[in-house]
Amino acid sequence: MAAQIIDGKAVAAEVRKQVAEDVKAIVASHGSAPGLAVVLVGEDPASKVYVKNKAAQTVEVGMQSFEYKLPAETSEHEILTLVQRLNANPNVNGILVQLPLPKHVNAEKILNTIDPDKDVDGFHPTNVGRLWIGERTLVPCTPTGSAILAKKAVPSLQGLNAVVIGRSNIVGKPMAALLLRESCTVTVAHSKTKDLPGVCRTADLLVAAVGIPELVKKDWIKPGAIVIDVGINRVPGENGKTKLVGDVAYDECAEVAGAITPVPGGVGPMTIACLLQNTVTAFKIQKGIKD
Ligand code: NAD
């Protein structure tokens, strides 16, 4: 039987609709909408596109968008000062510093200066700790989006054998923490894992976050498994053009999987939607509002 294709664009639209409703309720009760500040340093073309999309979607759901576009030569001290100003600004509920930062800037120092309650990327060590000990927190957007998509395939993830390929701080590790919170039995595989295909074949839920085009093959997939492809890889396409592919060989894996996300149109669109959701959560945390 052909796999269920999990439509990330449609699910992201549902998440944004819910965020827009939450924002309306907040405006009605508190008189003003949550605000998201995005800081972009330099001219990285991909980052510029992300920041433009984030700002447009922030406004679309009725939130306030604050954009700070700084030249590549901006000093670390100036960026730190801006982050501290945003921390103190009551109209700003979420702060996102777009990565990568220029080489002369210590990204870790900048990210660790963001008030953890405004850290809508969920990268601050305080939020990493809160996630692992199961406290209410701001969870990184891409893993959150991936978990929402997995739940479109089955009503509950409880008890599933989950394999996450990749152990980065922004995807693999928080993904593992989230799935553990969903009561999955979690294995984290990485570049040093022995017999990766064999490990993957144990997965009822497989999340690939590696950055290697079409690494995961059909015979790595347990029949009926849920496959969430986080990878975004640009590869040569037809007629001298390029195209995007994931970390999963989509066509062949879709023949065996029970449900699968495409690339593009899977996890990608979920990331900004979850960022907006996190901004609402940040507002609620700051105002002491329960979920
Ligand atoms: P990363 O380079 O920081 O981490 C990659 C991980 O893959 C590492 O932990 C490494 O151990 C593991 N790995 C490398 N080679 C491997 C191999 N041969 N076998 C098994 N594991 C291996 O990357 P990242 O930031 O976690 O991103 C992973 C992918 O997800 C990239 O393609 C990236 O573009 C994509 N991504 C997508 C979104 C989105 O919004 N959809 C967001 C973030 C990242």
CA of 98 to the centre of ligand 1 (A): 18
CA of 25 to the centre of ligand 1 (A): 37
Query: Which one is catalytic: 22, 57, 98, 277?
Result: 98
The per-residue pLDDT for 291 is 80
Query: Which one is catalytic: 22, 115, 117, 121?
Result: 121
The per-residue pLDDT for 29 is 96
What is the tally of structural domains in the chain? 2
Q: Which ligand 1 atom is nearest residue 190's CA?
A: 21
The per-residue pLDDT for 290 is 87
Residue 290 lies in a domain: no
CA of 106 to the centre of ligand 1 (A): 21
Residues 161-176: tens digit of each pLDDT: 999 999 999 999 999 9
The per-residue pLDDT for 28 is 98
Residue 279 lies in a domain: no
Instruction: Judge whether residue 59 has pLDDT over 90.
Output: yes
Query: Is the same domain home to 108 and 145?
Result: no
Q: Is 165 helix (H, G, I), strand (E, B) or coil?
A: strand
Nearest C-alpha neighbor of 183 from the set 210, 209, 208, 154: 154
Region 148-161 average pLDDT: 97
Query: Is the same domain home to 161 and 233?
Result: yes
Query: Is the same domain home to 167 and 206?
Result: yes
Query: Is the same domain home to 85 and 171?
Result: no
Residue 44 lies in a domain: yes
Assign residue 253 the CATH number of its domain: 3.40.50.720
The per-residue pLDDT for 2 is 84
Q: Is the CB of 171 under 6 A from ligand 1?
A: yes
Residue 272 lies in a domain: no
Q: Which domain holds residue 218?
A: 141-260
Residue 49 lies in a domain: yes
Q: What is the residue type of 223?
A: P
CA of 159 to the centre of ligand 1 (A): 25
Query: Is the same domain home to 181 and 96?
Result: no
Region 186-206 average pLDDT: 98
Q: Is the CB of 41 under 6 A from ligand 1?
A: no
Instruction: Judge whether residue 39 has pLDDT over 90.
Output: yes
Query: Is the same domain home to 46 and 90?
Result: yes
Query: Is the same domain home to 251 and 149?
Result: yes
Query: Is the same domain home to 53 and 149?
Result: no
Assign residue 45 the CATH number of its domain: 3.40.50.10860
Residues 62-111: tens digit of each pLDDT: 999 999 999 999 999 999 999 999 999 999 999 999 999 999 999 999 99
Instruction: Judge whether residue 211 has pLDDT over 80.
Output: yes
CA of 217 to the centre of ligand 1 (A): 17
Query: Is the same domain home to 99 and 146?
Result: no
Query: Is the same domain home to 148 and 251?
Result: yes
Question: Please, what is the end-to-end C-alpha distance for the chain in angstroms?
Answer: 39
Nearest C-alpha neighbor of 145 from the set 230, 226, 18, 204: 230
Residues 107-151: tens digit of each pLDDT: 999 999 999 999 999 999 999 999 999 999 999 999 999 999 999
Residue 278 lies in a domain: no
Residue 192 lies in a domain: yes
* Residue whose CA is at the smallest distance from ligand 1 atom 34: 232
Query: Is the same domain home to 109 and 148?
Result: no
Q: Is the CB of 101 under 6 A from ligand 1?
A: no
Predicted confidence band of residue 157 (pLDDT cuts 50, 70, 90): very high
What is the percent of the chain with per-residue pLDDT over 70, rounded to a whole number? 100
Query: What CA–CA distance (Å, rounded) separates 257 from 83?
Result: 44
Helix (H) or strand (E) holding 46: helix 45-60
Helix (H) or strand (E) holding 30: helix 8-30
Residue 195 lies in a domain: yes
**Helices vs. strands in the chain: H and E counts, helices first:** 10, 11
Q: Is the CB of 208 under 6 A from ligand 1?
A: no
Q: Is the CB of 199 under 6 A from ligand 1?
A: no
Q: Indicate if 54 belongs to the active site.
A: yes
Integer-rounded Cα radius of gyration of the chain: 19
Instruction: Judge whether residue 241 has pLDDT over 80.
Output: yes
Pocket test for ligand 1, best of 232, 263, 270, 274 (most atoms within 8 A of CB): 232
Look over the chain and give the mean of its residue pLDDT values, rounded to a whole number. Answer: 97
Predicted confidence band of residue 264 (pLDDT cuts 50, 70, 90): very high
Instruction: Judge whether residue 1 has pLDDT over 80.
Output: no
Q: Which ligand 1 atom is nearest residue 167's CA?
A: 9
Query: Is the same domain home to 42 and 99?
Result: yes
